[in-house]
Amino acid sequence: MKCKCGKEIPENSRFCLNCGQPVGSVESLETNGQAPIQTSESIRTQKPRKRRGKWIAIVLVLVFFLSRCGGGKDSQTKNPTLKPRPAASQDTSTFSEHIVDRKKFSELQASACEPLKKLIVSKRAQLLKDQAVISTHPKALSDPFAASDFRVQHKFAGHDDYEKSLLKDAQDLIDNQMKTALDTSLTSNAAYALLMDTAFTCAKANSWPAKETLVEVLSMAESLDTNLLAMATLAMSLPWYPKGYSQLDDNLAVKWLKPHSYSCEYSGSSCWGLSVISAQGCPTSLYVAINIEDSSGTVVDWSNDTLPSLAPGKAAKLVFTSFSKGGSTARISDYSCL
């Protein structure tokens, strides 16, 4: 082999005999077709090759599978073609699958238009009438006592689903009118689809007014049902004390009495009567004090009354007397139930 100075280096020699260069620093070695000789220095400095190709392939495979099946929620939202699968119990049948004679079906559907419109107009008239009744009792939608009274007086307690009633009557009419053109009885979803298709077809063909369409009347029925449900909820939340009383706390409620329901004990005096009812009772004493105010709201006197006890659920009458002139209003200023 040759040194970089150009001179031949004898075999097994560690130095160039011409320039003294160590054999380990030789950069160009020629060995007559044989592999270059590795010196101890080159062995120490040579780094092992990394098997990068294998790891890159593994990473690419992992990325591919994660993008296909590991995306979870994000993979569905980012890919618009992925849609949630319908529940196994979901009824997806339609009435069109059961039509055996399409010509007869069209004729029967057209003949159903007039009776269907009569039903819709009749139901709409009833809904308007009942809505008018509710509108004259606005407190029934906010006060438990008013809601309870309304449901009893107007007999609405057993009729709280106008929408369901309308749909049932309309579907029965259509089923009876068109069953001879169908091969079997329809599921609930298919029957509803048939009803809405017939209602739409009839309204379009006969130019029904928008307010007399089935969709509009169903919306009215839903609104009425919502109001009746609100009343039912209020009626079930009646407080423990009777109508006309105002709650002082969890145990006491009071109601100011009309003048003819009590009498003043002393002549020349003015007095106020108060009915008190207790939920758990006042076993040892009941005490109530009032401030008496003039027309401007200024306190001009005060008075009190007591009872030795009050049984649970019972009401008692208290009378407050004043000899001051000008008192027009009384307000409770203190009370105790022991």
Could you tell me what percent of the chain has a pLDDT over 90?
46
pLDDT of residue 268: 67
Amino acid at 222: E
pLDDT of residue 72: 43
Give phi and psi for 299, each to the nearest 5. Answer: -75, 125
**For residue 292, what are the β-bridge partners?**
301, 330
pLDDT of residue 257: 95
pLDDT of residue 267: 67
Q: Determine the Cα–Cα distance for residues 239 and 249; give it in Å rounded to an integer.
A: 12
Q: Which of 8, 4, 48 is nearest to 24 (CA)?
A: 4
How far is the CA of 93 from the CAs of 188, 191, 212, in angstroms? 9, 10, 29
The region of weakest confidence among 2-6, 28-32, 224-228, 252-256 is: 28-32
Residue 211 pLDDT level (bands cut at 50, 70, 90):
confident
Q: Determine the Cα–Cα distance for residues 161 and 232; give it in Å rounded to an integer.
A: 12
For residue 68, give every residue at least 6 positions away whose Cβ sits within 8 Å of its Cβ, in sequence order, or none. Answer: none
CB atoms within 10 A of CB 127: 20
Q: Determine the Cα–Cα distance for residues 195 and 192; give it in Å rounded to an integer.
A: 5
pLDDT tens column, 100-148: 888 999 999 999 999 999 999 999 999 999 899 999 999 999 999 999 8
Whether the per-residue pLDDT at 167 is higher than 60: the answer is yes
pTM of the model: 0.57
Which tokens go with 255? 């109601």
In sequence order, what DSSP letters do the residues of 23-46 get, joined into one string?
GGG-S----TTSPPPPPHHHHHHP
In sequence order, what DSSP letters do the residues of 136-154 get, joined into one string?
T-GGGGT-HHHHHHHHHHT
pLDDT of residue 9: 72
Q: Are 5 and 26 in contact (CB under 8 A)?
A: no
pLDDT of residue 109: 92
pLDDT tens column, 31-80: 444 444 444 444 344 444 445 555 555 555 555 555 444 444 443 333 33
Most distant CA pair in the chain, distance:
150
Q: Once rounded to an integer, what is the mean pLDDT over residues 325-330? A: 87
The b-or-e profile of 50-86 (16+ CB within 10 A means b, else e) is: eeeeeeeeeeeeeeeeeeeeeeeeeeeeeeeeeeeee
The three-state secondary structure class of 85 is: coil
